[in-house]
Amino acid sequence: MAATEKRPEIIELSRGLRGIPQCEDYERMISGMMYNPNKPELLEARHRCRGLAADYNNLDTRTVSYDQIFDKRLELLRKVVGRVGEGTFVEPPFLPDYGCNIIIGSNCFINWK
């Protein structure tokens, strides 16, 4: 069942994340309430995320040396997600909807299967 009230603590946490589409429906979404995913702000946020995730997933490893791939992927991942700690690696493919809602700690490895 959907929540009936916004969660101020979650909304406050979101304000410190990268790429957040600050709008009424975003606040409703992260609070677990019913929301309209077709609002322009949310459509734009998903579009942005999918483009950045495509960059991440399609990094041509023939053009980046093995000893630079970790740093390059971390750089790209920081553009996709809300916050990510040092030493983190996500094995592609990585397919988030918004990305900005994701917080990943330090020294994490996320495999793809």
What is the chain's pLDDT, residue by residue, as a tens digit (113 residues)? Answer: 999 999 999 999 999 999 999 999 999 999 999 999 999 999 999 999 999 999 999 999 999 999 999 999 999 999 999 999 999 999 999 999 999 999 999 999 999 76
pTM (two decimals)? 0.90
CB atoms within 10 A of CB 39: 17
| Domain residue ranges in the chain | 8-110
Q: Where are the alpha helices (DSSP H) in the chain?
A: 8-14, 24-30, 40-57, 69-80
CATH placement of domain 8-110? 2.160.10.10
From residue 81, give the alpha-carbon distance in Å to each of 13, 27, 31, 45, 71. 14, 17, 19, 12, 15
